Amino acid sequence: MNAPPADGERRTVLVVEDEYLLAMELKHALVGGGFEVLGPAGSVNHALDLVNEKRPHAAVLDLTLGSETVSPVALHLKSLGVPFILASAVSPRELARYPIFSGVLNLGKPTDLGHLVRVMQSL
């Protein structure tokens, strides 16, 4: 768990989502909730570049980014101690194929944006 931000500092959330309209909805909701948003990133490489430029306080990830999965991003975030959740339409059975996501909250799609903001505030 990260320490609370210093006075006046906005918490930063990385958004990794390859569907443009969904990515913009997530970003808009998080900015409206008082967060600074990194991204959205639509690929693993873009997400890793963003994390290496500025370490986020938390992240919301879609499992599938075109033909790749977000697993390398999740592994990197975990190594940095950055908490993350999923916003993915993937089934629990499919998700179980990826040990890195064991026990990770999946808000699903369509994502309840109010719930997303509350969850991010709790991380």
- What pLDDT was estimated at residue 10? 85
- What pLDDT was estimated at residue 8? 60
In a domain, 77, yes or no: yes
- What pLDDT was estimated at residue 47? 98
In a domain, 49, yes or no: yes
In a domain, 3, yes or no: no
Mean pLDDT by 10 residues, the chain (123 residues): 53 97 97 97 98 97 96 98 97 92 95 97 92
- What pLDDT was estimated at residue 15? 99
The tally of domains found in the chain comes to: 1
- What pLDDT was estimated at residue 113? 97
Residue length of the chain: 123
Residue 30 maps to which CATH number? 3.40.50.2300
Helix and strand numbers (H, E) in the chain are 5, 6
In a domain, 61, yes or no: yes
Angular region, 70: left φ>0, alpha ψ -120 to 50, beta rest: alpha
User: Domain range spanning residue 36?
Assistant: 12-122
In a domain, 1, yes or no: no
Kindly report the pTM of this predicted structure.
0.91
